[in-house]
Structures are given as C-alpha cells and as structure tokens.
Amino acid sequence: MPPGDDGPSRQGGRSRRTSAAVTDPSAIPPTAPPGDRLLVAVSEQPGALDLIRAARRMAEALDAPWSAVHIETPRSARYSDAENAALAEALHLAAQLGAQVASLPAESVLDGLERFAADAHATQVVIGKSRRSRWFELRHGSIVDRLVRRAPGLAVHVLPLAAPPRTAHSRQAAARKADLAARWGSRTGYLVAFGLTALVTLLGTEILRTGNISDLGLLYLLPVMVAATRYGLRTGIATGLVCSIAYNFFFIPPTHTLTIDDPRNILTVLVLLGVAVVSSQLAARVRAHALQAQASAAQNGALAGFARLLTGIRTVDELGRVLCAEIGRLLDGNAVLLMPGEEGQARALTRRWSWSPESQAAQPQLETLDLAAANWAFEHDAPAGRGSDTLTASEWLFHPVAAGGAALGVFGLSRSDAREPVRSDRLPLLLSLLDQAALALERIELEARMAELSQARERDRLRHALLSSVSHDLRTPLTTIIGTLAALRSTDAEQERQMAAARGEAERLHRFVANLLDMARIESGALQGKVEPVDLEEAVAEALHAMRALLGRHPVETAVSADAPMVLVDPNLFHQCLTNLIENAAKYGDPQGPITVAAQRRGGGLELTVSDHGPGIPAGAEERIFETFTRIEGSDRKGGTGLGLAIVRGFALAMGLQVSAANRTDGTPGACFTIRFDADHLKEWPL
C-alpha cells in the first residue's frame, strides 16, 4: 500500500460522497467546465484498490474532478464471485473517496473507455497494466497501446498492477474450467442441430428428385446458423462439420462416399464452417450484450424506482420500512435496518425495521452474534458479518448506512436458505441503494431541522408582533390615563384620594407592562448593551432619585466606599437593575428598617449590595426567587409583578455580571442582594 494512505479498504471518515450512477456516463454534465478531468478505469483485477488511491492522489494534485468507470464487457458476465466482490469493493472505495462512479456496458474495454472519456470530457486517463503473460498480450493485444493510438489528446497514465496472489489464481483457473464446460453447449442444442441437419438432408433429397438443382449446399446454412446463433460456437462448428459431411455424403458426386472430386465443393464445406464460426460469434456477442443490457436496465430500473420512492418519503420510520421492503424484495432476502435511538440513548441501535420475503409479520430474529456484527459495522463504518472480513460467523451481512462521513445506521441482509446473503454481482447494487438511502436519511434530517427553524422564526415573528402591539396599544392609553389623572384636581378630599389611588394603580399597570417588555427583550436575547464606565455613587443616587416616589419616607443609606472604581456596564440596564432591587427592598422590607445600598471591593472584584430589614428570603428560595413570576409566599399583597428580580438577573447576565440573593449576615433579619463585578468589569479612577 502506498505510504500516507490509511486503512485497508473503507475510509468512511474523510470521504466526500457522491451519488453513484451505475451505468450512465451522461450523469456527468457534458458541458463540464474547462480544466482537467481524471478518469480511472477500474477492473476486477487485484490491484484496483491501489489504482484508485493513486488516481485520487493525482486528482487532488491536479485539483480536478475524477470518475471511476468500470467497462462491462461480455467477459464481465463470467466473473467469479471473488472477482465480483473485488470489483464492488473497488467501486465503493472510489465512491467513498469522492469519485463519480459509473459502469458502462461496451463491446470492449477500449471502446467503452474511449466513449466514456469523450462523454465525460476527460483529459487524463489512469489505467492499470496487469502482469499478464506475453502470450495473452499477443492474443488480445494490449489495451494500453491501443488506447494511446486511438485517443489522441488524452493523457494516459499507466500503473503496473500488483501480481495476483496464487490462491486467487487457482480459484480463477477453476472458475475458468467450469466456464469452459458451459461453452461446450447443451445436449439439446446438439440434438436440435443434428435433427435439423437430417431434416435439411431429407428435404434436399426430395428436391433433388424433382429436378437437377445445383448448390443445394446453401440449404445447409440453415441448420448451421440456427445452431450457431442459438447454441453457441461449438455447437455451431459441430453442426457445420456434420452438415458438410452430410452434404458431401448425400449430394456431392460421387454420392454416398466421403470423397470430393470437384474442388468447388471443398469451398462449400469451408464456407459452411466459416458461417458457423462467424454467425456463432456474432450471435454470442449479441446475446451477451442483451443479457448485460437487461441486467443493467434492471439494476438501473431498481435504482431509479428506489430513488423515486425515497423522494416521497418524509419520515425516518417510513424510510426504514420502505428501505427494508425494497432491498429485501430486490435481493430476495431478509432485510433489517437498525438505527440508533433518539438522543440520550448513547448511540445504541434500538430502532429497528425489518422485512422478510416469507411473511410480513414474522420478525427476523437477530442473535447476539448478529447484533455484535451490526454494532461493529455501525461503530467502524465498515461491513461486518457473513461475506465480509469481520465476524463472519453471523448469518447476516451488515453494511453501514453512512452519509457525511458518519454512520446513520446499519442495514443487514440474510437468506432463509442459508446461502450467501448477497450475490457478489449484486453487491454494487446494494451499495448504491444504501448510498441513496443514506442521502434520503440526511435529507429527512435536514428537512426536520428546516421545519424546526421556520417554526422558530414564525414564533419569533408572532412574539415580535405581540410585543410591539403590547408596547404601543397598552402603553399609549396608559400614558393618557396617567396623565389625565395627574392633571385632575378636586376640592373633595375623598375624590382626591380616589384619584390618587386610581393613578397609583395605573402607574403600577404601566410598570408591569414595562417589566413584561423588558422580560421579553431578555428572552428574545435582543439585549445588545453598550458598555460605558459608570460611577457607582452617581448611578446609585440616580436610581434612588428615580424611585423617590415609591420610596416616600422609607429610610435609605448609601455606603459606596470612596475607593470604589468605576464599573463597565450598560448604563440603562444597570439603572434598571438598581431600581428593581431598590423597589424590591422597598416592597418586601420593613418600612421602618433602612434600605442599605453599599459597594466595596471584594477580592479582585467589587460587590454591590442592596439589603433591607424584613422577613428575608425563605431557606432554599435563594435561586427560585429570580425565576419569572416567583413571589415569596404570602407577599402577594405587596403588589409585585413577580418579574422585577427576573429582570435584574436577566439584565445582569446580559452585561456579564453575577447576581445572588441571601439573607443578611449581620444577625438581623432581612434580605441581601448582591451584584458581583469581576476585575474585567472595573475601571480604576485616574490618579
């Protein structure tokens, strides 16, 4: 493995995912921007993974998009399981590394590569050169040489592929042997072909009897072509031989012997054999193509149908059911999708959907071993279970469903007849389906987040509308009421008292509205304070001045120490904090007991305290007292709004200050509120 490359096969974490188009080169826009585009030809050969990594490094160096393409030739249909798996793995790796992946059916690798390169506007092609024998190359020619010759303007990079390991070789040889047996053709083929030959011979004898017609040999083309096109090369050649013998024996003078007098008739025999060879080759090719096209059309159809299905899905639950049913049906096995539960359950795979071809109701059973494989696959973002490299004792094969480099869940497949869960040539299909499912999952998640966002925005809009309505429609009439009541004078003492009471209540209502607005500002997080150096002595004096009407004759002491520095706060928010604390002390404190506002240095910071004489704060309520609409028990008659202290804390937090409540520590009963400024919020007086 080249240095600097990590992991054996699946680098989930760093990969950028692209959707995998299986056979369509036009998926790459034909009007690709000018610049390099790299193309790597992926084969089933063992060195393909290294080839893909090398291609990616080149693409990164060129800063160019890249595609990995596999050309499906007629030979692809005869891949062994191992070769199929290697191919699937290679294509999957390419997709994980950010390549656009495609499979293209073509007559030959060269044709396909050339066509794809033209369609995708590729400028660089990377191909691997396998260490095949010279004999193989003489027979088949080297793809590299031909590609260079046929595609001028295309930079072709050739990388030597690693030699195939022995075991794989012997397996390949065995596979080829089985293949060879298949190529000899079926017995039915021979029977039909020979029957036809006999029929044609009979027919020929009959025709000969009616008159002397030469070139009866043409008649024998029929069985040869039928045999060659329908039953393959060898049956065709055998039929050709039999036909020429029959023709020779029955029709070529001297008849009923196998000797040939006329050299023209030798030609006939040769033509028959030639026709057999050519037509069987043609037919075989056409048949292979048709099969391939059928297979890829089915695969494409499955993918397209699946993609269509997925676009309509709105919830994860629905996706789970559809995914299991579709893949289970397509691959004819038991399917299960495991996903982690909602937050808080520490990524345990608790949500499960399943599908089984035998019955809809029966849940496929997952043993401990299977669950272990599923968890492994989920945690490592790599396949596990039967047919993979890990935990192969499980009946199930688990593949992660990953998007954006993180596994969202695992998908498991098994078969009730205990065969391999996935046929190796179906593996690319499975991986593509899972990629699509992952994208759909991601989409659903995003949609949910979007919906949440727009809901939040709507809530904000409503709140804003409500606030401005409250601000305007409540405050304006209150201003009028307060102003009018203030202007009214009466000579009647009782009426004067009533008006004063009405005005007091109106003012209280106004304060409440103002508090509500302040609270709303805190909750919306819309407090952008400006920071100014503020003289504490001045600020306290101003707050007391503002509360003079409410304080009345309530005694107040101020004790801001002479060395108290300036504080860095928003002057208005701080003013509100002070007035609310003083108001609170005036309301809940004993009217005779003085309210003390003091400030002194404490440690590196400063503490400002507002303390009263009174019942103090019930034990355990020191935090609760700052909550919205909290009032100390039994104090409702005081006419508080339950918002004052919550506003103090909200404003203080917005300025970066700490507020706390406690009872007085000097032995007398009463509450003491402290605003703490740390060193960052202090500014010393200049000397």
Residue numbers at the binding site for other proteins (CB under 8 A)? 471, 475-480, 482-484, 486-487, 507, 510, 514, 517-518, 530, 532-535, 537-542, 544-545, 558, 560, 566, 570-572, 574-575, 683, 685-686
Token representation of residue 560: 């801001």
**Shortest distance, position 686 Cβ to other proteins, whole Å:** 6
For tokens 């030809």, name the residue: 41
Q: Tell me 471's DSSP state.
A: I
Our CB check for other proteins shows the closer of 307 and 544 to be 544
Minimum distance of other proteins from residue 471's CB (angstroms): 8
Smallest distance from the beta carbon of 576 to other proteins, in angstroms?
A: 8
Cβ proximity to other proteins, 347 vs 545, nearer residue: 545
**Would you say 295 or 657 has its CB closer to other proteins?**
657
Smallest Cα–Cα separation from 410: which of 443, 446, 445, 366?
366
Separation between Cα atoms, residue 228 and residue 189, nearest integer Å: 9
Minimum CB–partner distance for residue 637 and other proteins (Å)? 25
* Least distance from other proteins to the Cβ atom of residue 533, Å: 5
CA–CA dist 349, 354 (Å, integer)? 14
List residues bridging with 597 in a β-sheet: 558, 610
CA distance 108 to 111: 5
* Of 475 and 676, CB closest to other proteins: 475
Give least dist CB 544 to other proteins, A. Answer: 7
Which residues is 103 bridged to in the sheet? 70
**Closer by beta carbon to other proteins, 386 or else 511:** 511
Nearest CB to other proteins, comparing residues 601 and 683: 683
Do 538 and 560 touch, CB atoms closer than 8 A? no
Minimum CB separation from other proteins for residue 475, in Å?
A: 7
Nearest alpha-carbon partner for 120 in 16, 31, 42, 23: 31
Distance CA 176, CA 170 (A): 10
Edge to edge, what strands does the sheet with 682-683 contain? Answer: 532-534, 566-569, 682-683
Distances in Å between the Cα of 431 and the Cα atoms of 21, 105, 400 are 11, 19, 9
| Nearest to other proteins of 111, 535 (CB atom) | 535
The CB-of-521 to other proteins minimum distance in angstroms stands at 8
We find the least distance from the C-beta atom of residue 609 to other proteins, in angstroms, to be 15
Between 329 and 548, CB nearer to other proteins: 548
Q: Which two tokens mark 431?
A: 């991986």
d(Cα 588, Cα 608) in Å, to the nearest integer? Answer: 19
The 3 state secondary structure assigned to 320-362 is HHHHHHHHHHHHCCEEEEEECCCCCCCCCCCEEEEECCCCCCC
- Kindly provide the residue ranges of all beta strands, DSSP E only, lying in 537-594, ordered along the sequence: 556-560, 566-569
| Pairing, β 605-611 against β 671-677 | antiparallel
Q: Which is nearer to other proteins, 261 or 557 (CB)?
A: 557
**What whole-number distance in Å separates Cα of residue 93 and Cα of residue 209?**
70
How many degrees, rounded to 5, is the angle at CA 88 between CA 171 and CA 32? 140
